[in-house]
A = this chain, B = another copy of it.
Amino acid sequence: MEIKNYKKDSFYSYSLGAFPTIELLKKHPQDLIKIYVHSSFKNEEVLSLINTLRGNHEIEFNDKMINKLSQKENCFIIGIFKKYNTPLDSNENHVVLVNPSNMGNLGTIIRSCLGFNIKNIAVIKPGVDYFDPKVIRASMGAIFSLNIHYFNNYDEYCKLFPNHVKRTFMLQANKTLQEAVFDKNKLSSLVFGNEATGLDDSLLDNNSIIIRHSKEIDSLNLPSSLAIALYEFSKQTK
Chain A residues in the interface with B (C-beta under 8 A): 108, 111-112, 114-117, 140, 142, 145, 177-178, 211, 213-214, 216-218, 220-221, 223-228, 231-232, 235
What distance in Å separates the Cβ of A224 from its nearest Cβ neighbour in chain B? 4
Sampled A-B contacts (19; CB under 8 Å):
A111-B217, A111-B220, A112-B220, A112-B224, A115-B213, A115-B216, A115-B217, A115-B220, A116-B214, A140-B218, A142-B216, A178-B235, A223-B224, A224-B224, A227-B227, A227-B228, A228-B228, A228-B231, A231-B231
> Chain B residue with minimal CB distance to A231?
B228
A178 CA / B234 CA spacing, docked (Å): 10
Cβ contacts under 8 Å, A225 to chain B: 227
Q: Which of B114, B214, B224, B228 contacts A114 (CB 8 A)?
A: B214
This chain: copies in complex: 2
Chain B residues positioned under 8 Å from A114 (CB to CB): 214, 216-217
Q: Which 8 A-B pairs have the closest CB atoms?
A: A224-B227, A115-B213, A115-B217, A228-B231, A114-B216, A117-B214, A227-B227, A178-B235
Contacting residues, chain B, for A145 (C-beta < 8 A): 216
Docked complex Cα distance between A214 and B111 (Å): 11
Within the assembled complex, what's the spacing in Å between the Cα atoms of A181 and B139? 31
Complex contacts, A177 vs chain B, CB 8 Å: 231
Among residues of B, the one whose C-beta sits closest to the C-beta of A223 is B224
When distances are taken between beta carbons in the complex, the residues of chain B under 8 Å from A140 are 217-218
> Which residues of B lie under 8 Å from residue A221 when comparing CB positions?
108, 111-112, 223
Chain B positions within 8 Å of A226 at CB level: 224
Interface-central residue, A140, A220, A221, A232, by most chain B CB under 10 Å: A221
